[in-house]
Amino acid sequence: MANESGQQQDIDRAGFLLTLRQRGIGDQAVLRAMEQVPRAAFVPTGSLTGAYADQALPIDCGQSISQPYVVAYMTERLALKPHHRVLEVGTGSGYQAAILSKLVREVVGIERYRTLADQARERLKAGGYNNVEVIHADGMDGWPDRAPYDRILVTAAADEAPAALIEQLADDGVMIMPRGPHNGPQHIVKLAKRQTPESVTLDEERLIAVRFVPLLAGKAREL
C-alpha cells in the first residue's frame, strides 16, 4: 500500500511540473527547485492527497500553503542569483523558504505564529535546508540584524509595502509582494529599489491577480 502511495505521488509530481510549464514558468532553475522540494513534506497529513494539486491548502493557525503556481511565479519574478540573501516574510509551512534555499546563498524567514515557526524550522532541518533560518518575529519589522537583503518576498497582502522592509532592501534590490485590501482586489507587485544620496525611489510593476491572507503587525498571541 505504501508503495502504491509513493507511485501515485510520483505521478502527481510529474503532472505538477507539467502544469507549471504549461502556465508559463520557464526559468529552469526555478523548475528544478520545484521538482527537488517535495511539497508533500510541507502539507498537513490530512491534505497529502492534494499535495501536488495546483491549489492552496490550509495549515495551522488559520494560514495556508500557497498554490504551487503562485510560489513558482513569485520566485521567478525575484530573478534570484546564487549569491543573494533573501528575506521571506510569512514563512508559514516552510515550503517557499525551501524553494528559495535551492536558489540562493541564504534565506531568513520570519513567521508571526510560534507554532508555524517551530514546525517550519523542524521540517527544514529534517529536509537538509541548512541555509534557512526561521525567526519568530513581527514580519512588518523585517529583520534588520541581517540587512540589507538582495531580495524580499512577502507572502501576505498589505495596502503598502512596510517602511522597514523598504529600508532593509538593498540598493537595486527587488521586493515581490501581494498588494491590496483583505476583502478587495489584490495583485502581486514587483518593487525595484533605486537609491541615490538625495532620495529613494521604488519602481513598481503590477503583475497577476491573487488572493492572500493579510499581513498583520506583531507576534501572534496564540502558540
Among all residues, which ones are annotated catalytic? 66
Q: How far apart are CA 133 and CA 108, in angstroms?
A: 5
Query: How long, in residues, is the chain?
Result: 223
Q: How far apart are CA 15 and CA 32, in angstroms?
A: 14
Q: How far apart are CA 95 and CA 10, in angstroms?
A: 18
Task: Give the count of beta carbons closer than 10 Å to the beta carbon of residue 220.
Answer: 18
Q: 200: which residues sit within 8 A by CB, 6+ positions away? A: 166, 193, 194
